[in-house]
Amino acid sequence: MSSSRQLLTWLVVLAVGPLAAQAQPSRPPNVVLLMGDDHGWEETGYNGHEFLRTPTLDRMAESGLRFDRFYAGHPSCSPTRGSVLTGRHPNRYGTFAPNWSIRPEEISVAQLLGAAGYATGHFGKWHVGPVKADSPTSPGALGFDEWLSHDNFFELHPTLSRNGGPPTRFDGESSEILVDEASRFIERAVADDRPFFVVVWFGSPHEPYSALARDLALYDDLPARYAERTVTLTSNETGLPTERPLRDVLRERYAEITAIDRAIGRLRAHLDAAGVRDDTLVWYKGDNGTPPSGVADMSHRGRKGTMYEGGVRVPGVLEWPARIPEGRVTGVPVVTSDILPTLAALAGQPLPTRPLDGIDLTSLLDGEMTRRPTPIFFWSFDVAGYQGREGAPYIEPALQEGTTPLVKLMDGISTRVFRNFHHPWVDPRDRAGARVVMDNDYKLVVDGTRETGIELFNLVDDPAETTNLASREPATVERLREALEVWQTSTLESLTGADYLTP
């Protein structure tokens, strides 16, 4: 059977019916999903960073399952978050870029786990639609019982909305605020004898940076060579772009990452005190690679917004003492779209009857998976080329207006306005944009930039993507291009709304 036929069969199986689920245990695990905002792969102690202090993540990487090749579903934030929630590539439902909303018909992992009896809570950055109560894409609309959330990102003293109510300022370090709120939610779930599903999406380390003095002091002695470069980022004073020395910016950025790490340690201590840590799966990951304002010494090519490893390869560690009693490292490629199928299997829940792009990783958790059975696909939809061809708004515009302010201004305002459009037919131009198919060792990049065309890399031999093998291995290029075209066809069919017509 050809690779395209194999891929098409895989997609059809997922669309027609759920995969066989594992036998449901007497009680499924508690789940805590953690995510940093713009936290790149290099930026942890356990991945060898020369200066960063991340003792909690380092301990988790040593005692749990460390994913050496963990990938965000997209090189930017909103699309990746959609992939976590749905197990589907964001282009299937029009979440093309930051501030593009999800669609109300999508089925979320919170809805699946809620149906299994979980108490579900979301804390922090949302960014797949407004968090206000009447939004059809709020955390509540997508299955969370409780939420203390922000439409986008935030710094110290964040302004957050509780359960869709009026935005309220919370004084303190934002990562600690979120973890403390999540811990109180966990206490209530434990008291009610319910398994819990908690999502904590930190606002850090997204720029503009602000941090506590004690965290800043850890990075007072960064090398002088960083002061020779300037980078562009948002001013905390004006909300507009400004230029500052990289050394000063890195000091603040690294301080924010250390604050996230400390907050995660605080959460782990709370799980210990509550007597539930052994039975709780805690999974940390980033939502995309390091942004331009944080790029210093990178071992991978590219940065946030690109399809190279520096744009999509992110930290990934999973801790679950009851099932993973000893530390392990895996080189199997894993992506954020795998989260929903994996958690559904662990909870004994059937999968949605529509195409998914992630796979069940339970055999990987048990050390049995050594090769990924299906490829991973990435695709940055060509939003610029889409302008002027958009269909009718998918959601009433008033319902797409955010309420929670942030420092960074957009179109002159401190809140965010989301968008999504009906896409009733497929245009040949819809296939444009940088795109990737990754099949274990090999990664095919199409139009990584406008000048690069077709690139083929062996990531095991060349993780820095320095050597283009396309001319040497034409058969591999053709095999992967064929698989990519089949997948794009399926994805564009989903974009038209066809998946929602399935009974």
- Which tokens is 414 given? 């401190």
**Taken in order 105, 106, 107, 109, is the CA torsion positive or negative?**
negative
Which strand ranges, in their side-by-side order, compose the sheet holding 454-458? 376-379, 435-439, 442-446, 454-458
What phi and psi, each to the nearest 5 degrees, are found at residue 341?
A: -60, -35
Q: Which residues are catalytic?
A: 77, 127
- Which SS3 state, helix, strand or coil, does residue 84 take? helix
The Cβ of residue 389 has, within 10 Å, a number of other Cβ atoms equal to 11
CA 385 → CA 54, 349, 389, 435, distances in Å? 41, 39, 8, 15
CA angle 294, 300, 302 (to 5 degrees): 65
C-alpha–C-alpha distance, residues 243 and 232, integer Å: 5
Strands 334-335, 376-379: pairing kind:
unpaired
195 and 28 Cβ atoms separated by less than 8 Å: yes
Phi, psi dihedral angles at 314 (to 5 degrees):
-135, 165
